[in-house]
Each structure stands twice: as structure tokens, then as C-alpha cells.
Structure 1
Amino acid sequence: MSEIKVIEGEVSIEIPGAGKPCKTWYKIFGDLKSGVRPLVGVHGGPGVPHNYLLALSDLATSHGIPLVLYDQVGAGQSTHLPEKMGDITFWTEELFLNELDNLLQHLGIQEDYALLGHSWGGMLIARHATRQPKGLKRLVLQSSPSDMGLWVEATNKLRLNLPQDVQDTLKKHEDAGTTESKEYQDAVTVFYQHYVCRLNVWPENLVASLALLEKDPTVYFTMNGPSEFHITGPLKHWTIVKDAHKINVPTLLLNGRYDEAQDSVVEPYFREIPKIKWVTFAESSHMAHEEERERFMQVVGSFLTS
């Protein structure tokens, strides 16, 4: 297989209230003019940069699918706004929907594209898809909540499977409002090892993404909260259940057997979206693209090229 062409770039984006010029950074694997429909990968968090999704570049080599990854504003190599910490009127779903539209236009692919969103990224692209943009042809929702009430319910049940001392530590700090402490973060890591990535050695790209999140947690802390299961931000009330039926493109729904996005969390997508296929990865938690990498690329690649 010949070497895949990789280019990086950035696009300006006007964000009302930002108080400074902003830009979205992106990376393209393959040729957007190849005649094959490109896939845009949308990262989770919110605020966990693209690095942990770099495995998706396998699709460019195995299936010839051009791939675009990008960092949402506030993450990775895009503009950071730490001064907006806690500003829930600034960090909104609409900001990130506009950013995605802006990127599609800039790359000139808005007439024909596919989207894969992981976790929060799936929530974002599901909302995008309910608006029925004419250029969207395929949708992949990977480990994405349909409703954050269901997510909180599921993650709190999963917590009960953790060692008792870990559960006690989590509760102690949540009750005391000391979730920024190292003891709390270490306990959260135990949850991650069970339900976010079960590989004994975490991929370098995932470690890099989480390190960058730690460096600037503005978006995550503001919209979500201190952890995956202690949701204090406005995403606590997020749901798409009543609008999911408006998604009119073929959709692939993915989760893992040990995923924090449990079946109960993703099932409303399956129930409501008219053209949908659901695959659960038996050996995976939240990172099937790393935990069962080969099978994941086969499933996603076949769906996107069918």
C-alpha cells in the first residue's frame, strides 16, 4: 500500500463573545478529492483532543477512506479559552455545531461526507444529523449517550462493581466538593481501567489526549463536571431521545460490552433512528477502536463503503 498523504491545517472561526480570533486545527489522512466519501472523526470529552482517535487512520489504508480529525475549540491544537472556565453561556452545544459546519465548508466536503463521533462527539453529530444536512450520507455513533440521565444511571451502577475503598473515596470527595484532589483522580482512574479502556497498557495516543485534557480542563469541567459519572455541568440535562427519529441517514451504532455507554444508554438511538444497525464489541469498553482495533476497522470500513 502506498504511503497515505497526511496534511495539517487550521481554519478561522468567529465565536461571539470569545474576545479574540479563534481557529480550529485539523489533520487529513488521504486525499479529499479521491472520489471516495471522506469521514470526519469527532472526538469526545468535551475537551479530550483528537489524539486518541488516530487509530481511525487505519480506515485510510485499509479501505481508502479519506479521514479528517480535528480538535474542537478549547482542546488540543485549536484555540484555548481558559478564561471562560465555568461560563455555561459560552460553552454550548451550538458553538461546537457551528464549528463543525465551518470546518465542512472550509474543506469543501459539505455536499458529501460521513461522520463518526465518539462519546460526546457522537452526541454532537447526532444533533447535527437531526437537522438533516443534505451532504451527510452516513453516521457512526460510537459509545455515545442518547440521554445523560441514562448515562448517569448506568455509570453509577457500574461504580458499585468497583472495590469498596474506591467507591468510598469517590463518595467522600464528591460529598466534600474536593474532586480536584489526587486521591479522587486516582479513584476515577480505577473506574477508567474497568469501563473506559481495559487494555493493560494504554495506547500512547490515549495517554496523550488525557494529559492534554488535564493541562486545560476548561471545556470538560464547565460542560460536564469533574468525572464521567459526577456530572455537574449543563450536559447533565442533555437528551436527544425525542429528536433521534429525525436522523434520516444509514446509521451504525457501536458500544462495548464493558462500556460506560451501557446498552441502556445507547438503546434509544436503536429504537428511534429508522435506518440503523447496532454492533456491540464483546471484548471492549469505551475504546473499541483500540481494544478490538482490527475488527472495529472491518465493521466501520464495511459500513462506510457499502
Structure 2
Amino acid sequence: MDVAKGRIRFGEYETWYRMTGSPGAGRPVLVVAHGGPGSTHDYLGNLAELARFGFPVLHYDQLGNGGSTRLPDKGPDFWLPPLFQAELDNLLRALGVTDDYVLFGHSWGGLLAARHAAEQPPGLRGLVIADSPASYPLWRKEMEVLRAALPPGVDDTLRRHEEAGTTDEHAYHKAVRAFNDRHVCRIVPWPRDYRASHMEMSNDPTVYSVMNGPSEFHVIGTLKDYTVEDCLAAIDVPTLLLTGRHDEATPATVQPYFELIPDVRWEVFEESSHVPNLEEPERFLAVLLEFLQNLD
């Protein structure tokens, strides 16, 4: 199977990408936008398997992490959603896939993908929004519900460190892991691809800390009030929603996609949390492949 890797110019920066399979064979390219923000493509690497069925798969690392340009000195005025919208547009144009593609967005990448799709680009054939909230105000509200259900004492530890500003201490990270093992990835030990992305974020937390905050459930960064609810009704391509039964992206945070996107269906993975592509990989890829083939 053909694999091409490289970096493309994005203004004065560079975006790393990997294309698995050969575009132009009559089937759309699946463009994969990872989450975080500030994560990498690694944990979504198994989506490249879809290239075996004739669908080329384009992974990329969003600016600030992985193989793309690192910018540890940039602050809140730089790390904003429009930056990543522009990067995605630039990527599609530079690689010549604007005429025939499907966009897959996971977690934060789902909001990125939804905003892109609402512009009604003529070459977009379909949209997949996986484990993604439609609104960070909704997300923050639901995090309170999930935190309250953690084992006794865990949320108390989290709040003590958040109030004291000591979220970099070991006790806080240990308490965060109790949440993550329930609602982010339920496989123990974590799969290699997930660990790879996690380590990349740990080594350079710039984007995540500025846009999100110290943890999944303490969102105090530039995304705190961000929402795509205002544009969802404009999405005019078939859309597939994917979530896990134990997902931190709870049904309440995903519901606006289901209610507002005109052509949409929703699949729930019963044994999964936030990364069903790793927790139930066979079913995940089968559902995604069926969606892609039905677009034909």
C-alpha cells in the first residue's frame, strides 16, 4: 500500500501529514482531524486500514504538536479555532483533495470538522463526528455530572488542586487518571497508539493547556465558551455521529449535532468511552466503512 509523508507550508509554519493509499482512484479521501486540542494523529492511526478498501486516508498533526511546527511561546491570542480552520483549508488545497473528500473529526477535531462542513465546500462528500461535544459550555456542565460520580474523594482532590493552582502536582494527575480510565480510554494498559499521543501532549502541553486547561474536565482556556451550534443546520452532507456508552462526550453534549444537522445518524459503541476506534476497533472500522461505501 502506498504511503506518502511530508510537510506542507502553512504561512511561516509547517503541517506534517501522511497519506495512506493513492488519491484519484474514484473514491474520496478520508481526512482525519485529531482531538486535543494539542494531541497528534497517532491514536487514530488504525483508520489507515480503510485504505485497503480503496479509501485513501490522510492523517495530519495540527500545528503545535507532533511533526508540525512547535510554538511553545505562543499564547491565548494565537491558539484560537480560526487558526486550525485555516490550517485545514490550507492542507486540503496543498494536497489537491478539495474536489473529493470525507472529513472525520474526533473530539475537538469534531468541532473543527463541523465548522468546516458548514461552509458547504463543494468537494465534501460526507462528515464523521466522533466523540465530540457541540459546545464547550455544554461540555463543562456535563463534566460536573461525571466528576460527581467518581469514587469518593477523587473530585475533592481535583478541586483542591484546581483552586490552589497546583494542577501540575502528582496527586492531581493521579486523580485525573481515575477519570480518564472511566471516560477516556477504558483499556488497561493503554494501547500503544494512545500512549504515543498522550506522551506527545505531555512533552509539549502548550496547545492543550492554552486552549483547554489542565485536564479534560477543567476547561479554562480559549475554548471555554466555544460552540458550533450556530452553524450545524448549514451542514448539507450525510453525517455520522459516533460515541461510546461511557464517553466523556455525553449524550447531552452530542445532542445538538443530532437535532440540528439535517442528514444525520448516530451510532453508540456499548463497550467504549472516548476512543472507540481503539476500544472496539473491529466494529468501529466496520461502521465507518459501511458509511463510506454508502456514500458511493
TM-score of the aligned structures, taking structure 1 as reference length: 0.94
**2:153 aligned partner, one-letter code:** D
2:78 and 2:137 map into 1 onto residues whose CA distance is 23
Work out whether 1:6 is the aligned partner of 2:3: yes
How many positions carry a matched residue from both structures? 294
1:294 and 1:75 map into 2 onto residues whose CA distance is 28
The Cα of 1:5 is off from its aligned counterpart by: 1.5
The Cα of 1:201 is off from its aligned counterpart by: 2.1
Cross-structure match for 2:25: 34
The Cα of 1:200 is off from its aligned counterpart by: 2.0
- Partner SS for 2:8: strand
Matches within 5 A, 1:1-306: 4-14=1-11, 21-61=12-52, 63-84=53-74, 87-306=75-294
Query: For residues 38-62 of structure 1, what are the alpha-carbon distances to aligned partners after superposition, in whole Å with 9 as ceiling and x for unaligned?
Result: 100100000001100001112112x
1:142 and 1:191 map into 2 onto residues whose CA distance is 19
The Cα of 1:64 is off from its aligned counterpart by: 2.0
1:181 and 1:32 map into 2 onto residues whose CA distance is 47
The Cα of 1:164 is off from its aligned counterpart by: 1.5
The Cα of 1:165 is off from its aligned counterpart by: 2.2
Runs of 4+ in structure 1 displaced over 2 angstroms?
none
Preserved contact between residue 243 and residue 273 of structure 2 (Cα < 8 Å):
yes
- Structure 2: where are the runs of 5+ without partners? none
The Cα of 1:72 is off from its aligned counterpart by: 0.5
1:256 and 1:81 map into 2 onto residues whose CA distance is 33
TM-score of the aligned structures, taking structure 2 as reference length: 0.97
- Partner SS for 1:260: coil
Query: For residues 85-132 of structure 1, what are the alpha-carbon distances to aligned partners after superposition, in whole Å with 9 as ceiling and x for unaligned?
Result: xx2211111111111111101111101110100000001010111111
- Partner SS for 2:210: helix
The Cα of 1:180 is off from its aligned counterpart by: 1.3
2:274 and 2:37 map into 1 onto residues whose CA distance is 15
- Partner SS for 2:173: helix
1:242 and 1:49 map into 2 onto residues whose CA distance is 27
- Partner SS for 1:304: helix
1:110 and 1:275 map into 2 onto residues whose CA distance is 21
Preserved contact between residue 131 and residue 242 of structure 2 (Cα < 8 Å):
yes
Report sequence identity in percent: 48
2:51 and 2:176 map into 1 onto residues whose CA distance is 34
1:79 and 1:71 map into 2 onto residues whose CA distance is 9
Query: For residues 141-177 of structure 1, what are the alpha-carbon distances to aligned partners after superposition, in whole Å with 9 as ceiling and x for unaligned?
Result: 0011111111111122111221122212101101111
RMSD between aligned residues = 0.9
The Cα of 1:137 is off from its aligned counterpart by: 1.0
Preserved contact between residue 32 and residue 60 of structure 2 (Cα < 8 Å):
yes
- Partner SS for 1:41: strand
- Partner SS for 1:132: coil
1:165 and 1:207 map into 2 onto residues whose CA distance is 27
1:243 and 1:10 map into 2 onto residues whose CA distance is 31
1:135 and 1:121 map into 2 onto residues whose CA distance is 19
